[in-house]
Amino acid sequence: MEEINLDCLVLIFNVLIKDEKSLHSCLLVNKKWCNIVVPILWKRCFLGEINEKLCNVILSFLPSSSKKLLSNNDIKLPSLTLSKFPLFNYISFCRYISPDDVDKIINIVLKNLCNDHRRNLMEQEIYKLFISQCKNVKYLCWTTRQPLTLFPGASIFFSQLYELYINIDSVNSDALYELAQICKDLNTLSISGYCNIPNLFYLIDAQRNLKKLSLHAEVDEKTGNCGKELSKALRNRTTINSLYLNSIDNIVLSSLTTLVNLKKLTILHWKNYKEIQQYLAIYEFPNLQQLILRQGHLSSFKEISLLIEKTMGNISEIDIVTINKTAKEAEILIKAIVDNCPKISDLYTYIEPKDFIHVKTLLLNCRFLRIIELRSLEFFINENDNNIGDELLDIFILFSPKSLDNISISGFWKYSIDAFNRFFEGFRKRPLQHFNIIFDKLSYSNITSNHKIIIRKYINEGVVKYSSC
């Protein structure tokens, strides 16, 4: 029988990556199969699966100098650690390194003892091992104070990184500068911590093809230098298509106007809503596909609408959970979505009862909607609004596209029991995956035990699969 081509075997085994049992069986077929399968199995190692057996294999690769250093400092390696060098250099196949896995190895050896000196030595030698031996690592989470860029093999190790998460509270300015000299081909960079290190600019600026940038950082407001440097680093970064900003100052926001290829923009926790509204009005991201604004206090939908109007119709997700309860004119946003977002699938926003009629237009024009979440802008109950939510429920029954199977509505609006029954009967032939009631902690809820009984009834009958009630 003719042998299967090696390239075909590699493709087949990579498809079986989720079925480790079958892959382990393939190891035993012959040496050729074994040589292909072992790297595939080990390249996804270190994903929270460290146990004592795996720990012993990893520690077997420690050089004699490391073992002697640990022994001299009263660190006893497990007796089951392999005395002979294994058949494969398993460490070299690994693609991911996380601090959690390093901690698990240390805890297995030190039995969770909290001796800072011994833990530091153990951590140092493990990271030295990984950096010197792992030639194909694609993801690194750097939250250690170990000087990783100074370890043997660091230049090769960091030059091949694809994704880096770094807590800058754990590194000093020199380490960031050194990192910028040898790590230039990141696709994804995620930064957290208190942003007061000047050389952070060099790390971002050094990247030649950065696609995704996440800044979960507090900018140093005392000096303002880091904000200015971050702003410089972001200017003209035309390769970036995904940007996540958390607690970033207005200096940084002002530099986003040059990110013309941005497809996903997420902004959380801004402090000055007037400035963010100003920037939203002037931003132009024609290729934008996802817009997420959360945990701020925007007082108007107008600026968001202006941003949406300048896109090219490719937006698939809008997530607005930032509006001040006093905000008005929610219909401006709905109209902008209707006119400019024919491909939208996920929508999270706020409306008032007077805007329910615009929901009808939205459902009729955006036929790819899959998820819709409508929160209430109202804060005070109007006693004249008896069962005002019935209109919204009837609109969903009559005009929802077939794709819409996840509906969340505010518990602030009043719904009659008859309308609730009518709503679920309307979806009997096209069951909902989710039906949720949003309970605003600051608002009174009009959802009663009778409403919940109805929801439970239709869950039991298969009309709804999941519900927050």
Distance of CA 230 to the CA centre of its chain: 21
Task: Confirm whether 413 is domain-assigned.
Answer: yes
Residues 189 and 164: beta-carbon distance below 8 Å:
yes
Question: Average pLDDT for residues 385-393, to the nearest whole number?
Answer: 88
The highest-confidence range among 129-143, 187-201, 378-392, by mean pLDDT, is 129-143
Whether 10 has a pLDDT exceeding 50, the answer reads yes
Q: List Cα–Cα distances, 451 to 223, 397, 423, 455, 458, in angstroms.
A: 55, 17, 12, 6, 11
Task: Confirm whether 452 is domain-assigned.
Answer: yes
Task: Confirm whether 215 is domain-assigned.
Answer: no
Of 50-54, 269-273, 303-307, 415-419, least confident by mean pLDDT is 269-273
Task: Confirm whether 391 is domain-assigned.
Answer: yes
Whether 373 has a pLDDT exceeding 90, the answer reads yes
**3-state SS, residue 387:** coil
pLDDT computed for residue 172 by the predictor: 79
What the block records as the tokens of 38 is: 């072992």
pLDDT computed for residue 214 by the predictor: 92
- Mean pLDDT over each residue of the chain, to the nearest integer: 84
pLDDT computed for residue 223 by the predictor: 47
pLDDT computed for residue 85 by the predictor: 63
Give the pLDDT band of residue 254 (cuts 50, 70, 90). confident
pLDDT computed for residue 9 by the predictor: 62
The highest-confidence range among 3-17, 252-266, 439-453, by mean pLDDT, is 252-266
Question: Average pLDDT for residues 299-305, to the nearest whole number?
Answer: 86
What the block records as the tokens of 349 is: 């926003």
Of 15-19, 57-61, 184-188, 248-252, least confident by mean pLDDT is 15-19
pLDDT computed for residue 171 by the predictor: 85
Hey, what's the torsion of the CAs at 346, 347, 348, 353, to 10 degrees? -150
Side chain identity, residue 12: I
pLDDT tens-digit series, residues 333-347: 999 999 999 999 999
Number of domains present in the structure of the chain: 2
Task: Confirm whether 230 is domain-assigned.
Answer: no
The highest-confidence range among 194-203, 289-298, 410-419, by mean pLDDT, is 410-419
Q: What is the pTM of this model?
A: 0.85
Task: Confirm whether 198 is domain-assigned.
Answer: no
DSSP 46-88: -SS---HHHHHHHHTTS-HHHHHHHHHTT-PPPTTS-SSPPSS
Task: Confirm whether 406 is domain-assigned.
Answer: yes
More confident residue, 49 or 383: 49
What share of the chain has pLDDT > 90, as a percent? 47
Angle at 306 between CA 300 and CA 312, to 5 degrees: 145
- The domain of 18 spans 1-43
Task: Confirm whether 112 is domain-assigned.
Answer: no
Question: Average pLDDT for residues 137-164, to the nearest whole number?
Answer: 93
